[in-house]
Amino acid sequence: MIDRYSTPEMRRLWSLQRKFEVWRDIEIAACEYWHAQGRLTDAELHDIRTKSTFTVERINAIEAEVHHDVIAFLTALAENIGPASRHVHFGLTSSDVGDTAQMMLILEAGSLIDKAFAQLLKVVYDFAQKYKDLVVAGRTHGVHAEPTTLGLKFLGYYAELSRARERLQHALADCRFGKISGAVGTYSQMPPELETYVLKKCNLAPEPVSTQVIPRDRHAYFLQAIAIAGQALYRLMQEIRLMQRTEGRELEEPFQKGQKGSSAMPHKRNPVIAERICGLARVLSGYANTAEYNIPLWHERDISHSGAERVILPDATSLLEYMLLKSTFVVGNLHVHEKNCERVLDATHGLLFSSRALLTVTEKTQMSREDAYAIVQAAAMATWENPAEGNLRERLQANPKLSAIAKKDWDDVFDARSFLTHIDKIFARVAAP
Residues with a known catalytic role: 141, 262
Return the DSSP state at 135: E
How many whole angstroms separate alpha carbon 369 and alpha carbon 381? 18
Residues 3, 47 contacting (CB under 8 angstroms): no
- Sequence-separated (6 or more) residues with CB below 8 Å from residue 65: none
How do strand 335-336 and strand 251-252 relate by DSSP bridges?
antiparallel
How many whole angstroms separate alpha carbon 249 and alpha carbon 335? 10
Query: Helices 94-130 and 304-332 meet at what angle, rounded to 10?
Result: 20
> What are the CB-based long-range contacts (under 8 Å, 24+) for 419-428?
419/147, 420/133, 420/135, 420/149, 423/132, 423/133, 423/149, 423/151, 423/152, 424/132, 426/152, 426/155, 427/128, 427/129, 427/132, 427/151, 427/155
Of 293, 324, 329, 325, residue with least CA distance to 308? 293
Of 27, 291, 24, 277, residue with least CA distance to 157? 277
- CA 180 from centroid of its chain's CA atoms: 31
In degrees, to the nearest 5, what angle opens at C-alpha 351 toward C-alphas 350 and 357? 90
- Sequence-separated (6 or more) residues with CB below 8 Å from residue 340: 248, 249, 250
Residues 261, 270 contacting (CB under 8 angstroms): yes
- CA 115 from centroid of its chain's CA atoms: 12
Q: Hey, which residues does 340 pair with through a beta bridge?
A: none
